[in-house]
Amino acid sequence: MNGARAMLETLLANDVTVCFANPGTSEMHFVAGLDQVPTMRGVLCLFEGVATGAADGYARVARRPAATLLHLGPGLGNGWANLHNARRARVPVLNVVGDHATYHGIFDAPLQSDIAALASALEGWYRRSTSSDDLARDVADALSAAYGPPSRVATLVLPADVSWSDVNHAPASWPLARRSASQPFDDQIFDHATRALRAGGSALFVGGQLDRDQLALARRIADATSSRLIVETFPTSLTRGAGVANAERLIYLSEFAQAQLRDLASLVVLGTTRPVGFFAYPNVASELVPSDCDVIDLAPPGVDLNATLEALVAVTHAGAVHLDEGVPPKAPSGALTPESFAAAVAATMPDDLIIADESNTSGLHLYGATRHCPPHELLTLTGGAIGFGLPVAVGAAIAGERRVLALESDGSLLYTAQALWTMAREQLDVTVVALANRGYAILNLERRRVGATADGSASQRLLDLDDPTLDLAGLARSLGVTAYTVSTADELVTALQRSYATPGPTLIEAVLPTSQF
């Protein structure tokens, strides 16, 4: 048995059964090991950013890590942006980064690079394995670190000779990762938070991975204390829909978020960090809460959110949760606009859907429109690095084994369009709505917000995607995905219904007006 086989066996012993891979020469013994360990599912991705984004999506839905297999430092670099999103999502991911043989590095071969520096920027866990005999323990340690709490990205470097060399002392059983308990909340901070909630003018600010039960607990506390319940703009995952307690969502635009929070006397933060502006703007404060607002970090990431919420329920004598009733919007007709797009998504939504949302400006109305839809799980762009939606949809579809709806703007789709090929190859049940407004609409908005005026066409040329015009449906077909183009709300409704009834992936190119902002 060689090191690669020992690694695969240890992964399986720890319930890591999927590897999103873009391998090279240094990883060939790992690849060959898949023939001996058929229960490990190897998923080929044509770009490392797809592999890392898929691992993120898998972890958000499965609540356990998948592995990535990347080729040396450049492979890790190519996958880094979506690892940044995973880092911000605080989900467990294990990167296996193949490297030159231990004795080869001194020759400074063309692909030699500082892998440790790339990995350290992810603020996770890093180790370079040096012995085939130690590799199983290295894998278990990496998974222990990935689980946290809080969960994080772990990177294990696998030199080629460690992979191909024989294991001299195989363990009687493969080592298992430690799954440490979440930390308890601080009693003094808890007392401070309960006093603030009872004093009035407060809000619970929740984030991270939020399921139905946690939202119900938070709603009960908010109702018992006459507080508001606000969810962060980009939670890792959020259960939504009929029968699920609702929370208002923090507005993305700093000026509007500041207005949303301006009357708060205190903000109790649970499962996330205090809200700040996504970017800096001239004459706009970076802090979103008022300067005199008491921000109480009661349950930062790594602290037991369930136990904290249950303790707050007990101390506030919170009653049963009260849910508002309503119905989804009716199927829209006529022009295709951001409003009718949101209504079409809501009107056609099947039960138990997973939504990977990178709709950006075109999706501003989605959160309100889907309030009373069938229960579903929303995955959002936690780290702001675009090219997130399609890879996350790949991982979510494999983990959840149910329909995924990827809402994707045209500009960000092109960062990781290779994910469409993986969807086709794996026959994943993914519906992609590619929102084609022929430009970077968010940048047209942001240019005005930062006060960057433009007098000519040179600057606008960097923000438009209409010369030449993109054929997103044609691109999808070339990658093996059935695709349609729609330009009205009626056509979008029909295309969504058809996609949900058809196994495998479908892309719907939805052509929107170019002058949204």
Q: DSSP assignment of 12-50, as one string?
A: HHTT--EEEE---GGGHHHHHHTTT-TTSEEEE-SSHHH
pLDDT at 445: 67
Beta strand 482-486 pairing with 430-436: unpaired
Q: What is the CATH number of domain 3-164?
A: 3.40.50.970
pLDDT at 415: 97
Report the 3 state secondary structure along 390-437: HHHHHHHHHHHCCCEEEEEEHHHHCCCCCHHHHHHHHCCCEEEEEEEC
Number of H helices, E strands in the chain: 21, 19
Q: Which among 113, 106, 167 is positioned nearest to 135, based on CA atoms?
A: 167
Tokens of 320: 């049963």
Asked if 288 and 275 touch (Cβ cutoff 8 Å), the reply is: yes
pLDDT-flagged residues of the chain (< 50): 517
- Other beta carbons within 10 angstroms of residue 120's beta carbon come to 12
- Tell me if the pTM is above 0.85: yes
Report the 3 state secondary structure along 80-139: HHHHHHHHHHCCCEEEEEEECCCCCHHHCCCCCCCHHHHHHCCCCEEEECCCHHHHHHHH
Tokens of 152: 């994080």
Size of the chain in residues = 517
Asked if 436 and 464 touch (Cβ cutoff 8 Å), the reply is: no
Taking the alpha carbons at both ends of the chain, their separation in whole angstroms is: 60
Whole-angstrom Cα distance, residue 89 to residue 300?
A: 13
Whole-angstrom Cα distance, residue 481 to residue 424?
A: 6
Q: What percent of the chain has pLDDT over 90?
A: 87
Question: Omega into 149 within 30° of 0, i.e. cis?
Answer: yes
Q: Which among 52, 88, 140 is positioned nearest to 278, based on CA atoms?
A: 88
Cα–Cα distances in angstroms (integers) from residue 445 to residues 58, 206, 313, 470, 512, in the given order = 32, 28, 42, 21, 16
Q: What is the CATH number of domain 338-511?
A: 3.40.50.970
Asked if 5 and 136 touch (Cβ cutoff 8 Å), the reply is: no
pLDDT at 517: 45
Fold observed for domain 187-316: Rossmann fold (3.40.50)
Asked if 236 and 90 touch (Cβ cutoff 8 Å), the reply is: yes
pLDDT at 281: 86
Cα–Cα distances in angstroms (integers) from residue 217 to residues 123, 269, 313, in the given order = 32, 14, 7
Domain ranges in the chain are 3-164, 187-316, 338-511
